[in-house]
Homo-oligomer: A and B are copies of this chain.
């Protein structure tokens, strides 16, 4: 969903994060943007009774926090590391703006990217409102399988539940069912997708 990304060779300013360490939080004003060098980052909001709703998972190579910089608003979401050993680097608003202004093509590219993303949200909303917990779980697993490069997915059950938008217990029951049907294997918290096709079939009902 977030296809704004670029490569950096010098990872000075690189910050190491453990799971759940906060990158930025709601209400604060941005001082720059963050490039994800390694690991996964969750973007989320707190709902009623403090339950997190994960809005987006960002992968290494992606940039986060630029919406607030570009809109000149405060953050309206929170960002935190989804796993240990996540590393990010900080790019100040000044550096970012300088880069932006020095590259006149970027304006148009930005407009195009932002519009594309905006379009994708419509799909996301429809997925979240019209699909069942089982279907959304399959959706999340397909996404994470890709994010983990077909390796073992290693995410807290609670985070998984917050991605799917359900209770942790409900998520676990679905996971068990998938395990029973040999669609995935589960070793402690690690999940490996065996049968991607089945997951895709489940998504579409």
Contacts and interface: CB of A to CB of B under 8 A. Distances in A.
B71 A119 contact: yes
A66 B112 CA distance: 11
Contacts of A130: 47-48, 51, 53, 165
* Majority secondary structure, A binding face: helix
A76 B1 CA distance: 14
Interface residues of A, number: 41
A188 interface: no
A112 B114 CA distance: 10
Contact of A53 (B48, B111, B125): B125
A17 to B, nearest CB: 21
Interface in A110-158: 110-126, 128-131
Nearest to A114: B114
Given A119-B76, A122-B55, A111 B48 contact: no
Given A118-B117, A125-B124, A128-B128, A112 B51 contact: no
Q: Which 3 A-B pairs have the closest CB atoms?
A: A47-B130, A71-B115, A70-B115
Interface of A: 43, 45, 47-48, 51, 53, 55, 66-68, 70-73, 76-77, 107-108, 110-126, 128-131, 165, 205
22 contacts: A47-B129, A47-B130, A48-B130, A53-B130, A67-B115, A67-B119, A70-B112, A70-B114, A70-B115, A71-B118, A71-B119, A73-B119, A107-B107, A107-B108, A107-B111, A114-B115, A114-B118, A118-B118, A121-B121, A125-B128, A129-B165, A130-B165
